[in-house]
Amino acid sequence: MTVSEFCLGSMRVIKVHELDLNGFAATQLLPGLDPSVLAKHGEWIDPRTYDPMTGHVFMSVHTWVVRFEGKVILIDTGAGNDKDRPTLKVLDHLHNPYLERLAAIGVQPEAVDYILLTHIHSDHVGWNTRRYGDRWLPTFPNATVICSDLEWRYGAALTAGDEESIVKVRTEAGFSLPVRIPVPGVFVDSMMPVEASGRLKRVPVDGGEVLQGIRFLSTPGHSIDHAAISITSQGTEAIFGGDVMHHPFELYEPDLVSVFCEFPEGARNSRRWLARHAAESNAVYFSSHFPFTSVGRITQTGETFGWEFADSSSHVRNQPGGLVVRERNMGVLPFSQ
């Protein structure tokens, strides 16, 4: 098995793949996408991200394992197995060997210390729990799960059908009516069991540290209180951007809004803000749905953004057990320019 390990300062990051999402037409993912725009960007469109023959975008669902300060941290937990998602067929009753893949990189469920959630959507919180008979219980029994307090309260209000609280939380977030709400059932089967186990920690998403060196950056819009997660080590910053963007197209055309976003104007503003921040700080950007390595840097020229994949074609070394790790020090190795 080959994995790419990304090293920044003292941080070690490995992607754990869950599933490919290659069935979406670009215009399905981004309904405002004018095909002529694709022609305009023909020069940079990367064949690893888009198939011009079918018009489909390449995406995936994956999570990030971060080893940092002696802790094992998971950033988001994918879609999960056995979940009942009748309104989202692509995630309905999955049976993926996700835990086996985690084990293959040396991470047993008991070893995870923290789970940091960018937001409470079906493809980001699924492996928080797994099915035992007719119950859902935490998959990672020793992990503290950290999420936005406001996003939790919104999910609780929606689940209870408590209109007054729903409006109150939206007002607090500075939003009015959304164009969609989170997929029903996710909060019940993937969040409430974590809270019941006493392992949930709710935090404000205000840029303050949630753990040493780790901050939740406020990037609302895709969801009501979405957090991009920033980890800084020895002067280098990693940003785990969640769903501030789903595909590199959104960097080249940042006003496009995905079909999965709840508050479009907020999503646009947060995307521009985060892209600018990542470009200015020269951060390494770990995406939630970009294909290939899913890692790279965001570039900026004036008000125009761009994307450069990091690949791991250098520093190959053999590990015990036949595991080959392609190691790349993101802090010093150049990106293709």
Residues near Zn ion (CB under 5 A): 123, 243
Question: Kindly report the CA angle at 34 between 53 and 55, in degrees rounded to 5?
Answer: 15
- Is residue 146 a contact partner of residue 254, using CB atoms and an 8 Å limit? no
Q: How far is the CB of 123 from Zn ion (least distance, A)?
A: 4
Closest-CA residue to 86 (of 122, 57, 53): 122
Q: Which is nearer to Zn ion, 123 or 253 (CB)?
A: 123
Q: How far is the CB of 69 from Zn ion (least distance, A)?
A: 27
Q: How far is the CB of 241 from Zn ion (least distance, A)?
A: 10
Cα separation, 89 vs 83, whole angstroms = 11
Q: Of how many residues is the chain composed?
A: 337
Q: Which is nearer to Zn ion, 5 or 123 (CB)?
A: 123
Q: Which is nearer to Zn ion, 101 or 289 (CB)?
A: 289
Cα separation, 221 vs 230, whole angstroms = 18
Q: Which is nearer to Zn ion, 15 or 328 (CB)?
A: 15
- Is residue 71 a contact partner of residue 111, using CB atoms and an 8 Å limit? no
Rg (CA), the chain: 19
Q: How far is the CB of 118 from Zn ion (least distance, A)?
A: 8
Q: Which is nearer to Zn ion, 151 or 243 (CB)?
A: 243
Q: How far is the CB of 162 from Zn ion (least distance, A)?
A: 26
Residue whose tokens read 């809004």: 257
Q: How many CB atoms lie within 10 A of CB 228?
A: 26
